[in-house]
Amino acid sequence: MAKRTRKSEVTVASSEEARKFAKSLQEAFRGRKRSRKEKERLREYLAKFDAEYLRSIARRVMIDIVKGPGPGRADGDKSPPKPLPPSPSRRPGGKRAAGSRRSRTSGSRRRSAKS
């Protein structure tokens, strides 16, 4: 079972710190196949960092993923985000599709039998 921590004990890295860490990781291991030797090298690389620092980076990454791009987007594009296209209405004028309701003469109402 995971150890519970108080909110005051939880540290979160800044977005800039997380970007720098990810960039250094990519530069160190870019374009290499994931062989056993490379995986061991990655473990040794990560062992250089304090466990709490790695947790703070992981927390920041998760926060940034959930939060999504804001006004200052991650790709560096400073232009405002494009507006979403208007959502199409169901039907023009609120009309129903043909055949969506049973007609009055179909089996929904029984006709009185004439004798």
Q: Does a structural domain hold residue 54?
A: yes
Q: Over 70: is that where the pLDDT of 68 sits?
A: yes
SS3 26: helix
Q: Does a structural domain hold residue 84?
A: no
Taking only the tens place, the pLDDT of each residue in 23-53 is 999 998 888 788 899 899 999 999 999 999 9
d(CA 109, CA 76) in angstroms, rounded, equals 64
Q: Does a structural domain hold residue 94?
A: no
Q: Does a structural domain hold residue 38?
A: yes
Q: What is the 3-state secondary structure (H, E, C) of 34-72?
A: CCHHHHHHHHHHHHCCCHHHHHHHHHHHHHHHHHCCCCC
Q: Over 90: is that where the pLDDT of 114 sits?
A: no
Q: Does a structural domain hold residue 83?
A: no
Q: How many domains does the chain have?
A: 1
**109-114 average pLDDT score:** 57
- Residue closest to 45 by CA, chosen among 58, 59, 37, 18: 37
* Domain coverage including residue 53: 7-67
Q: Does a structural domain hold residue 51?
A: yes
- Residue closest to 80 by CA, chosen among 89, 95, 69: 69
Q: How confident is the model at residue 65 (pLDDT cuts 50, 70, 90)?
A: confident
Taking only the tens place, the pLDDT of each residue in 71-101 is 655 555 566 667 777 776 665 666 666 665 6
d(CA 31, CA 38) in angstroms, rounded, equals 11
Q: Does a structural domain hold residue 2?
A: no
Q: Determine the pLDDT at residue 103.
A: 57
Q: Does a structural domain hold residue 27?
A: yes
